[in-house]
Every structure is written in structure tokens, then in C-alpha cells.
């Protein structure tokens, strides 16, 4: 559809412009006192409004012969022919309108007085047609640029979705690999524990498949999945693995990407508790501060443990997912201090599954330096 006719605001501006032009043309005719203001307005305003409607057709010519793809000589020839046809049609309509005014409005010798003004009217018509063509080319260029941006944005969205799907696909295999190693370690020592661990693993995978397919889930559901994971690990570590929760009630309804905490807690177990002879306690906290949801995970660490300089796959996965979903609106920080490893996650505090983004997250005062 025509971009001006399809947009009410554009159409209003377009018609207003032609109305102003009609008044200006009337002034040019009336000021030399060849015509009264009534005669000049009756002639100029209706004719310019009709001419404005006729000039709308130039958009179709501009669309068929775009500036970037049409040789200049061909473009000039096509637009010149289109302009001549448009002006010829306008002159024909003008002649009929002059005769109508002369008879219906009893304007004395109106056609005789208008005839000397024909070159002026034709010249003005050519200028206005050229301006209309220029406006249409600007609109065509703008629409093409807008479509290109939309295609690029859509391409980025598809790429982002593909990246998120790939990152999600890494979570369960990574976790499953570690779980199978744990089952293998227990197989010759405690068959009953292997059976219990296998059943809980199946339950965890069932939950992760159901909730992991969603874009966002409630924090309470995410924590429940993480606790299911810890139940599996507790079969292996027994009393060496403890968990303490400090979750503000209001935070439970906040929405988070699924399986965002499980890799962090898995790191706390395998890179923290697993290296402690007496085990330790993983502390999981969540608090709401202004527009920010702050989730922290802390676990004791052995200072003499083997160091992983590159960082774990789980932490890297979470970082990439946060960047893909929230851009700069989420932060993940981890650091070792006072004999414990702290992982802090800041997300936009949202309580509706329909919300995907919020105002940018500014680092709150409680963020450790």
C-alpha cells in the first residue's frame, strides 16, 4: 500500500503541505491584482489539492525505478515522461475547472485572464511534481533502510535463540556426565545408594525437561530444581554436604531463566565441597533491592585445592546465557574471600512471565567491591 495513504499522520502532513502551497499560489495570482482573493483561492486551492492527489502516483514510479539501481539517464527520462503526463492531466483538469468557475461563479472573463498564467501554473506544477518525487524517494529509501534493519534484527534474534538453545543443550549433558561419574563411583560400594541416586536423577531430569523448555520460570521453581540436584549429590557426600537457604519471600515470585542456578550450585559442590575433607555448607540467599534481584551462593573452599585457571563450563555457560538474554542488564561476579567462594548474580527483578527486559541494572550499594 502507498506509504502516505497507509499512514494517517503522513497523509495529514502531506495534505496540509499542499493546502499551504495552494494558498501561496493564490497569493501569487491575487497580489498583482489580476484576480480577486475569492477568484484566486477558488482557482488555486482546489486545483493544488487535486494535483497533490495525482502526484501520489509518482511513488509507484519511484518504487519501480529506485535511485540506487537505476542508471541516471534512464531515471531522468522516466521521471520526465511521468512528470509531463502528470502535468498534462493537471492542465486538462484545470481547464475544466476554470470553465466551471466562469459559469457557476459568474467570474467575468475568467478563462481569458487565466490563460496568460498558464506558463506559471505549468512551471509551478513541474516544481511541485519534482518535490513530490524527491519526497517519495526519501520514503522509499527510509522504508528500505527500515526493512533492512528489521531483517538484521530478526537475524540477530534467530542467532541469539540458536545460541540460547545450544547453551541450554549443554546443561543437562554436562550435569549428566558428572552424575554418571558419581553413580559409577558408588556402584561397587553402595548399590542401594546407586538406586536412590538413579531415581532422583530421573526425577531431576524430568523437572529440567519440563521447566527448561520455558523461557522464564519462577525463582521458587528454579530453587526447587537446584535442591533436587543437591539431593542427588547428598547421596554421594552424605553429611559432608549441607545447604542453608535464606530466601526472601517476595523473591520467590521473581522470574529467572531456567537452569540458571543449577550450574552455579554444581560448581559449588564439585569445586568446593568435594575438596573439603569434612565437607561444608552451601549458603543460598536471595534478596530484592529496588529493581534488582540479588542471588548469592557461597561455599567453603580448600586453599590448597587444584586451581582451574580457565573456569568451569557451568560458569561460562551462565555468563553467556545472561549476556544473550539481558545484554548489559544482568551481572555475574565470583570471588574467593575469607575462606569461601562467593558467586553473586544480579538480575532485573520481574514478577511477570511476560516481561523479558527491564531498566538497566545499576550496580547496587550491596555489591561487594
| 3-state DSSP assignment of residue 64 | helix
Residue 83 CA: distances (Å) to CA of 78, 145, 335: 9, 27, 72
Extract the C-alpha cell encoding 271.
Answer: 569445586
Residue 48 has what pLDDT? Answer: 94
Residue 319 has what pLDDT? Answer: 85
User: Within a 10 A sphere around the Cβ of 134, how many other Cβ atoms?
Assistant: 12
Residue 219 has what pLDDT? Answer: 93
Residue 139 has what pLDDT? Answer: 87
Residue 172 has what pLDDT? Answer: 55
Residue 356 has what pLDDT? Answer: 43
Q: Domain extents for the chain?
A: 8-151, 190-348
Question: Is 258 buried (19+), middle (13-18) or exposed (0-12) by CB count in 10 A?
Answer: buried
Specify which residues 336 forms β-bridges with.
Answer: 341
Residue 173 has what pLDDT? Answer: 63
| 3-state DSSP assignment of residue 189 | coil
CA distance 228 to 262: 10
Query: Between β-strands 280-289 and 241-247, what pairing exists: parallel, antiparallel or unpaired?
Result: parallel
Residue 144 has what pLDDT? Answer: 81
CA distance 125 to 63: 21
Q: Does domain 190-348 have CATH number 2.30.42.10?
A: no
CA distance 122 to 124: 5
How does pLDDT run across 32-90, given as a tens digit for each residue? 888 999 999 999 999 999 999 999 999 999 888 888 888 989 999 999 999 999 999 99
Mean pLDDT per block of 10 residues along the chain (369 residues) reads: 87 93 92 89 94 92 87 91 93 92 86 90 91 90 82 65 52 66 76 82 77 82 87 84 92 89 86 86 93 93 70 73 85 88 92 50 39
How does pLDDT run across 301-332, given as a tens digit for each residue? 887 777 665 556 667 778 888 888 888 889 99
Residue 354 has what pLDDT? Answer: 45
Residue 46 has what pLDDT? Answer: 94
Closest to 251 in 3D by CA, of 216, 287, 296: 287
For residue 275, the 8-state DSSP code is G
Amino acid at each position: 500500500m502507498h506509504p502516505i495513504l497507509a499512514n494517517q499522520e503522513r497523509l495529514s502532513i502531506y495534505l496540509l503541505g499542499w493546502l499551504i502551497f495552494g494558498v501561496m499560489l493564490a497569493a501569487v495570482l491575487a497580489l498583482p491584482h489580476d484576480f480577486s482573493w475569492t477568484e484566486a483561492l477558488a482557482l488555486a486551492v482546489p486545483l493544488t489539492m487535486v494535483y497533490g492527489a495525482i502526484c501520489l502516483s509518482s511513488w509507484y514510479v519511484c518504487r519501480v525505478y529506485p535511485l540506487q539501481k537505476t542508471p541516471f539517464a534512464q531515471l531522468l527520462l522516466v521521471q520526465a515522461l511521468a512528470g509531463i503526463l502528470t502535468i498534462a492531466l493537471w492542465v486538462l483538469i484545470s481547464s475544466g475547472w476554470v470553465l466551471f468557475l466562469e459559469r457557476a461563479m459568474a467570474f467575468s472573463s475568467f478563462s481569458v485572464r487565466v490563460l496568460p498564467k498558464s506558463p506559471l501554473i505549468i512551471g509551478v506544477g513541474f516544481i511541485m511534481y519534482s518535490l513530490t518525487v524527491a519526497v517519495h524517494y526519501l520514503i522509499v529509501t527510509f522504508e528500505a533502510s527500515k526493512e533492512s534493519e528489521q531483517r538484521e534484527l530478526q537475524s540477530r534474534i534467530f542467532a541469539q535463540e540458536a545460541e540460547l538453545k545450544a547453551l541450554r543443550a549443554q546443561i543437562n549433558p554436562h550435569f549428566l556426565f558428572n552424575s554418571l561419574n558419581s553413580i559409577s563411583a558408588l556402584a561397587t560400594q553402595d548399590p542401594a545408594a546407586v538406586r536412590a541416586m538413579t531415581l532422583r536423577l530421573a526425577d531431576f531430569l524430568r523437572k529440567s525437561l519440563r521447566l527448561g523448555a520455558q523461557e522464564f520460570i519462577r525463582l521458587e521453581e528454579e530453587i526447587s530444581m537446584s535442591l533436587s540436584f543437591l539431593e542427588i549429590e547428598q547421596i554421594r557426600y552424605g553429611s559432608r554436604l549441607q545447604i542453608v537457604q535464606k530466601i526472601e519471600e517476595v523473591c520467590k515470585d521473581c522470574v529467572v531463566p531456567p537452569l540458571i542456578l543449577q550450574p552455579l550450585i554444581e560448581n559449588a559442590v564439585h569445586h568446593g565441597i568435594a575438596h573439603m575433607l569434612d565437607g561444608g555448607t552451601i549458603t543460598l540467599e536471595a534478596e530484592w533491592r529496588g529493581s534488582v534481584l540479588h542471588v548469592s551462593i557461597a561455599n567453603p573452599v580448600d586453599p590448597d585445592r587444584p586451581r582451574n585457571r580457565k573456569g568451569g563450563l557451568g560458569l561460562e555457560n551462565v555468563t553467556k546465557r545472561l549476556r544473550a538474554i539481558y545484554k548489559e542488564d544482568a551481572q555475574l561476579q565470583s570471588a574467593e574471600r575469607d575462606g569461601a567462594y562467593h558467586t553473586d548474580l544480579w538480575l532485573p527483578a520481574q514478577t511477570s512471565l511476560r516481561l523479558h527486559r527491564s531498566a538497566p541494572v545499576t550496580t547496587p550499594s550491596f555489591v561487594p567491591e
